[in-house]
Chains A and B, each alone.
Chain A
Amino acid sequence: GTPDPPPAARARVRRDCRTSLGKALLSSMFAVGADVLDIGGSGGRRSRNDPLGAPPSALGGPTGFCLPPTADPAAFCRTNFTAEKGKDMNQEIKFAKGTTTLAFKYNGGIIISVDSRATQGPYIASQNVKKVIEINKFLVGTMAGGAADCQFWERNLGTQCRLYELRNKERISVAAASKLLANTLLQYRGYGLSMGTMITGWDKTGPQLYYVDDAGTRLHGDMFAVGSGSTWAYGVLDNYYRPDLTDEEAIELGKRAIYHATHRDAFSGGMNNVYIMKPDGWTQVYRGDVNDYHYALFPPPPPPPGGPPLPATAA
């Protein structure tokens, strides 16, 4: 069925319902998918919270939660936080945005490789953020953009996936899970959410990878890199990717791509976490500091014989 409009839209419509135009808007807004049981009048509409009211959509809609008591949350975010793409270089409250996350599908499964740095402008807020969100044993999501948005909505997606499993006695497909998330984000479009996430998993059709973002975009593909360091990651991935990589080669490729992105992008760094997706679920196969990896790949040259010792390398 048609999902309910988000709470703020309903609040807006409720305020307008006193005018006749508002009444027309009210009836048209609820006409599609309106339960025929709503026997007329605002009495039926008012009892939106009663347990015998219109039921939630069959596959579970987004959890209702209170929006800030402003007329237009999207405009509020735009004016007060400058939370808009391309205009947020001088934010007063800076949202953590820099990241590099990547995932690619090969013959043996899917590799998910992420960094772990969170920045607020030039300030490194954390080097240890968990950017892979384990939705369930067979589904993994990555985080890029607003950390709270990603965490909350992917946990919400986990709830919906579990309900699907309980109702239908089988695991949800990755296509359906990513569609549920994309539908949710599309409902909140313009409300200031910031998410660029990849939903990956292994279902009956094999390994699947979807990119979902806050605009409601949902793309099916074999390789994605998301975040401020994605361009460097794509450079490495595009050069060395082959579908017939072995597991070790694929893991190494994931590590390298993140390493190169963190080396050049100021907003990416910290620890590299690599996960692999196999038919029986995901496993974390690597967690290491990208700085140590740099010196493993490019060890400093030995001091010249007889000359002064090189200064100790900075941490």
Chain B
Amino acid sequence: PVRPPPPPPRPPRRRSCARAPGTRPSLPSEGPRAPGSCHIMSRYDRAITVFSPDGNLFQVEYAMEAVRRGATTVGVRGADCVILGVERKAVANLQDPRTIRKICKVDDHLTLAFSGLTADARVLVNKTRLECQSYRLTCEDAPTVEYVARFMAKTQQRYTQRGGVRPFGVSSMLAGFSPDAEPQLWLVEPSGTFSAWRANAIGGRNEKAVKEFLVKNWAAGLDEAASVRLTGKALLEVV
């Protein structure tokens, strides 16, 4: 029997936009796109476990972009207190606003406020609550804020180094007190880094403006009322 001839080789597909191999498409937070640039994903951002030639993990950066799309969260450390403020976006008429919880109690002495994907935050907070209780069971003592922040960072980092999963699109601010009763504010990011801050803002449209406001107006030794006022004014910068 005569076999049909093999089909002719298909011409190579030309991409409709030319870009250097290492670069990524511009993110919305970086401002309006230049005309002619497009939003087709480059070769290095599809898989989490692949570095780009210039050393970026694009999925992690996109996770931070997801955080920027969330509502703003502001944290301020006073002399003897830590204030966490969150922006409540306009709620639908029929929705009960009290069921939208963005400030979560992680342990008796620790509270967390997040920005980003709420569902991811729920999973992360659950893991963190479990770890706090596990620490209490093993060490018969309350975990330090730094330990909990380190655990959250370790968890988020693990999800940036494994195939088949994506990073958590959540940045969290952890507030608590050290064993010497010093107030502490820790920031944990989707890349898995954690650091202590005196005041910071995450998420939201106007993140830069809020951060600049805090840099200008934070002072050491603020009492509770002044810290609350500073947080409120910083949140007003969002709009």
Q: Which residues of B contact A172 (CB under 8 A)?
A: 139
A167 to B149 Cα, complex, angstroms? 13
Cβ-based interface call for B16 (8 A): no
> B141 contacts which of A52, A55, A173, A180 (Cβ < 8 Å)?
A173
Cβ-based interface call for B147 (8 A): yes
Cβ-based interface call for A183 (8 A): yes
Distance (whole angstroms) from the CB of A78 to the closest CB of chain B: 30
Distance (whole angstroms) from the CB of A86 to the closest CB of chain B: 32
Closest to A176 in B: B139
Query: Are B141 and A1 closer than 8 Å at their CB atoms?
Result: no
Query: Are A176 and B140 closer than 8 Å at their CB atoms?
Result: yes
Q: Which residues of A contact B162 (CB under 8 A)?
A: 37, 52
Cβ-based interface call for B138 (8 A): yes
Distance (whole angstroms) from the CB of A34 to the closest CB of chain B: 12
A179 to B131 Cα, complex, angstroms? 16
Cβ-based interface call for B33 (8 A): no
A1 to B131 Cα, complex, angstroms? 6
A176 to B139 Cα, complex, angstroms? 4
CB 8 Å contact bits of B127-165 with A (1 = contact, 0 = none): 000110011011111001011001100100011011011
Q: Report how many A-B pairs have Cβ atoms within 8 Å.
A: 44
Query: Are B131 and A58 closer than 8 Å at their CB atoms?
Result: yes
Query: Are B165 and A37 closer than 8 Å at their CB atoms?
Result: yes
Query: Are A58 and B134 closer than 8 Å at their CB atoms?
Result: yes
Query: Are B161 and A173 closer than 8 Å at their CB atoms?
Result: no
Distance (whole angstroms) from the CB of A162 to the closest CB of chain B: 15
> B164 contacts which of A39, A59, A179 (Cβ < 8 Å)?
A39
Q: Which of A24-83 contact B (CB under 8 A)?
A: 36-37, 39, 52, 55, 57-59
Q: Which of A1-33 contact B (CB under 8 A)?
A: 1-2
Closest to B146 in A: A168
Query: Are A173 and B139 closer than 8 Å at their CB atoms?
Result: yes
Given that A1-B134, A37-B165, A55-B158 are known contacts, is A179 also in contact with B144, CB under 8 Å in the complex?
Answer: no
Query: Are A180 and B138 closer than 8 Å at their CB atoms?
Result: yes
Given that A1-B131, A37-B165 are known contacts, is A59 also in contact with B138, CB under 8 Å in the complex?
Answer: yes
Given that A52-B162, A58-B135 are known contacts, is A175 also in contact with B144, CB under 8 Å in the complex?
Answer: no
- Residue among A2, A58, A167, A180 with the highest chain B CB neighbour number at 10 A: A58
A179 to B144 Cα, complex, angstroms? 18
Query: Are B158 and A168 closer than 8 Å at their CB atoms?
Result: no
How many of chain A's residues touch chain B, expressed as a range?
10 to 19
Distance (whole angstroms) from the CB of A33 to the closest CB of chain B: 8
Distance (whole angstroms) from the CB of B150 to the closest CB of chain A: 8
Q: Which residues of B contact A37 (CB under 8 A)?
A: 158-159, 162, 164-165
Given that A52-B162, A58-B135, A168-B147 are known contacts, is A176 also in contact with B141, CB under 8 Å in the complex?
Answer: yes
Q: Which residues of B contact A36 (CB under 8 A)?
A: 123
Query: Are A58 and B151 closer than 8 Å at their CB atoms?
Result: yes
Q: Which of A170-204 contact B (CB under 8 A)?
A: 172-173, 175-176, 179-180, 183
Q: Which residues of A contact B159 (CB under 8 A)?
A: 37
A301 to B150 Cα, complex, angstroms? 70
Query: Are B131 and A52 closer than 8 Å at their CB atoms?
Result: no
Query: Are A175 and B139 closer than 8 Å at their CB atoms?
Result: yes
Query: Are B139 and A59 closer than 8 Å at their CB atoms?
Result: yes
Closest to A36 in B: B123
Closest to A168 in B: B147
Query: Are A176 and B147 closer than 8 Å at their CB atoms?
Result: no
Closest to A179 in B: B138
Closest to B147 in A: A168
A37 to B139 Cα, complex, angstroms? 27
Q: Which residues of B contact A167 (CB under 8 A)?
A: 150
CB 8 Å contact bits of A72-103 with B (1 = contact, 0 = none): 00000000000000000000000000000000
Query: Are A175 and B135 closer than 8 Å at their CB atoms?
Result: no
Query: Are A175 and B131 closer than 8 Å at their CB atoms?
Result: no
Q: Which residues of B come within 8 Å of A, CB atoms?
A: 123, 130-131, 134-135, 137-141, 144, 146-147, 150-151, 154, 158-159, 161-162, 164-165
21 A/B residue pairs, CB under 8 Å, sorted by A: A1-B131, A1-B134, A2-B134, A37-B162, A37-B165, A52-B162, A55-B154, A58-B135, A58-B151, A59-B135, A59-B138, A167-B150, A168-B144, A172-B139, A173-B140, A176-B139, A176-B141, A179-B138, A179-B140, A180-B138, A183-B138
Q: Sorted from nearest, which 3 A-B pairs have the closest CB atoms?
A: A176-B139, A175-B140, A179-B138
Other A-B pairs beyond A37-B158, A180-B138, 8, CB < 8 Å? A37-B164, A37-B165, A173-B139, A173-B140, A176-B139, A176-B141, A179-B140, A183-B138
